[in-house]
Amino acid sequence: MGKIYEHISHVYDLFWGKWSPGYVSLISETLEGQMPDKVTILDLGCGTGVLAVELARLGYTVDGVDISPQMIEMAESKATEFPQVNFKVADMVELETTEKFDCVTCTFDSINYLLEIGQLQKFMINVSTKLKPGGFFIFDSNTALLYETCQKGEFQRELGGQSFTQKLNFDPLKRLSTTTFNFSNGKKEVHHQRPYDPDEITLCLKDAGMEVIRTYGGLKGEPFLYDSKRLICVAEKPF
């Protein structure tokens, strides 16, 4: 069985890659008044670099980090014209760097790959240590409602000349979502995610020395409500 994104990386942008570039306005509005070429951003769980490259296009200096070598390979292939973006393979929970950033991002479910609250706590502390005082952490997390309502069924997909099925399942008692990709050439990938409650996230942020300054239920600025499927959060590490 392949590791996460080992195979799906090659077709990721064709189906899943369009969402995170929608973060560019929220990020640039949050950083308003700061010169893009002076701002450093760390994009954790950056995947194929769809967001990092758009931020680099605006002049921001971006470091992208992802646990999947295949996703980073795809990211590097689209970043050749932007010297101010760099990618590296690493676990975002364990990432070690002494550099401090003005902004850390982690978008499109990357946080939901952390399967235990202890991992989320450790991750948030790590994010906090990477932020300069006054820096922002902008991220999202799927709610339980998303998994309860959308994480079911089996879909046949044809993308980039590849044919595969995507089977979705959610166990509410274990709070565990499973997505199985079966490719026509026999290759297989299994992804596990879990939802986090807004209260769990707020507490982890607080324990890590950050505070929530804005939340949304969608990228058009919709308010986060009890029936939102995704929490979008702007947090700050106070001075």
Ligand X SMILES: C[S@@+](CC[C@H](N)C(=O)[O-])C[C@H]1O[C@@H](n2cnc3c(N)ncnc32)[C@H](O)[C@@H]1O
Which tokens in the block code for residue 129? 């240590």
Nearer to ligand X, 20 or 177 (CB): 20
CB of 123 to ligand X, least distance (A): 8
Return the residue matching tokens 């324990």. 207
CB-wise, 38 or 192, nearer to ligand X? Answer: 192
State the alpha helices, DSSP H only, in 2-155. Answer: 12-15, 24-30, 50-57, 69-78, 117-130, 144-150
Token match 């101010």: residue? 84
Q: Are 30 and 136 in contact (CB under 8 A)?
A: yes
Look up residue 109 and give its two tokens.
Answer: 């479910």
List the structure tokens of 177.
């979502």
Radius of gyration of the chain (CA): 17
Footprint on this chain of ligand X (rule: CB under 6 A): 4-5, 17, 20, 45-47, 50-51, 66-68, 71, 91-93, 107-110, 113
- Closest approach of ligand X to the CB of residue 157, in Å: 15
Q: Which is nearer to ligand X, 126 or 202 (CB)?
A: 126
Q: How far is the CB of 87 from ligand X (least distance, A)?
A: 11
CA neighbor of 79 nearest in space, from 102, 107, 104, 57: 57
Nearer to ligand X, 5 or 87 (CB): 5
**Cα separation of the two ends of the chain:** 46
> Tokens 């948030």 correspond to what residue?
124
| Residue with the CB atom nearest ligand X in the bound state | 47
What's the closest the beta carbon of residue 14 comes to ligand X, in angstroms?
Answer: 12
Q: Which is nearer to ligand X, 123 or 217 (CB)?
A: 123
How many CB atoms within 10 Å of residue 41? 25
Provide the minimum distance between the beta carbon of 4 and ligand X in the complex, in angstroms, as a whole number. 6
Nearer to ligand X, 38 or 89 (CB): 89
What's the min distance (Å) between Cβ of 13 and ligand X?
8
